[in-house]
Amino acid sequence: MLSGAHRFPKQDHVTYGRPAAEVVGELAKAWGASRILLATNRSLADGLAAAFATALGDLCVGVFSDLGAHSPRDGVIAGAAEARRLDADLIVALGGGSVIDATKVIQLCLWAGLERVEQLDAYRAGRGPDRVNVAKVPAGVRFIAVPTTLSAAEFTPFAGVSDAARQVKESYTHPMLAPRAVVLDPAMTLGTPPDLWASTGMKAVDHAVEQLCHPVRAPYADALAADGLRRLARGLSASKDRPDDLDARLECQFGMWLAISGVGSGRGMGVSHAIGHTLGGSYGVPHGITSCVTLPAVLAWSAPNAIAPQAQISELLGYPGPAASAVRELVAGLGLPTDLRSVGILPKEFQAIAEHTMHDAGVRSNPRPITGPQDIVEILELAAG
């Protein structure tokens, strides 16, 4: 008999298809918040973020824009310091996955009183005598996410933050870490660079595919992933052809939301994500791009052990051949790189990447079991180009 459990993120609202600033203002009023800190990155600071802050009016008491790619720890600490300085009672994260992940951990810093980068060490996910039981830290100031990409970070209670000194990306989690509300406003994505939009869409495709191929079944999660993948394939192609089509962009946002929602089953992600964490945290490859180059290779390597789910994936993508080819065709059609060489990763680095990746939990969630670093090297060779 199939058994399992599904854990829903601690979120009150997901609003879609309405102007984001209008929704944020309504929620702030409903929650009794009057001092919003807008958290974003430098590329959005003078354009979209400035306009958003203006739309919020007196509700917005400041804009913090020093949240960089891969969510560096020093930016997280600085963001928490700014929230304290301004006495913010609500944070709004405007941006992609790095901004949203950083804001999740800014919350944790506020709740736990963390003021220095090194204090984050004890709050990383993991076990050991030096680790704090993070789940017992009482929640305080929460945030609203207004995503501009398809990373889906806004729908999970965990975050990746990079330690520049060690060149690794570390995980943080807490039952209340997910944003209290998410606002899916496709108008907020119109200025997102096309390659960033498409590549984060491929990250969402990766979420769906790895859920469908997971060796542990979870019917609720499978159904969400399947519909999410279908919507993503349709929406990504349409938004490439018609960049100003808000309906196509909202279809992508729905697909991204559905694709990530299955992770509440507790199954976790697979090897494509595991390799991607290494390529992102240690080699600086953007996470959406990692999915473009690793997912087809993982599917090809795993194919003998995942015949039925891979056939379903091909069907959902409207492709008559193998799932690995279906995904590669989708990537190529979006004008994105399909091999490691194109993103500067050479064979001489494969062994180090493989050994580092073996520490990621995703290696334990592949339909074809990963037995050691050599299996990862074989996948990387398939992705080499």
The first and second tokens of residue 275, run together, are 């390799």
Give the CATH class of 13-188.
Answer: alpha beta
43 and 67 in contact (C-beta within 8 Å)? no
Predicted pLDDT of residue 264:
77
Please state the rounded mean pLDDT for residues 302-310: 98
Q: Which of 125, 153, 369, 378 is nearest to 270 (CA)?
A: 369
Look up the pTM and report it: 0.95
Please state the rounded mean pLDDT for residues 87-97: 97
SS3 for 284? coil
Predicted pLDDT of residue 163:
85
One-letter amino acid of 221: A
Predicted pLDDT of residue 6:
87
Give the residue range(s) of CATH 3.40.50.1970 domains in the chain: 13-188
Predicted pLDDT of residue 128:
77
Please state the rounded mean pLDDT for residues 173-200: 97
Please state the rounded mean pLDDT for residues 286-315: 97
| Surface-to-core class of residue 62, CB atoms within 10 Å of its CB (0-12 exposed, 13-18 middle, 19+ buried) | middle
Cα separation, 132 vs 124, whole angstroms: 8
pLDDT tens across 19-48, in order? 999 999 999 999 999 999 999 999 999 999
Predicted pLDDT of residue 164:
80
The rounded percent of the chain whose pLDDT value lies above 90 is 88
CA angle 346, 380, 300 (to 5 degrees): 145
Confidence of residue 294 (pLDDT cuts 50, 70, 90): very high
Predicted pLDDT of residue 41:
97
Predicted pLDDT of residue 262:
83
Predicted pLDDT of residue 265:
80
pLDDT at residue 344 tops 80: yes
Q: Which CATH fold would you assign to the domain 193-382?
A: Dehydroquinate synthase-like, alpha domain (1.20.1090)
Give the residue range(s) of CATH 1.20.1090.10 domains in the chain: 193-382
pLDDT at residue 168 tops 80: no
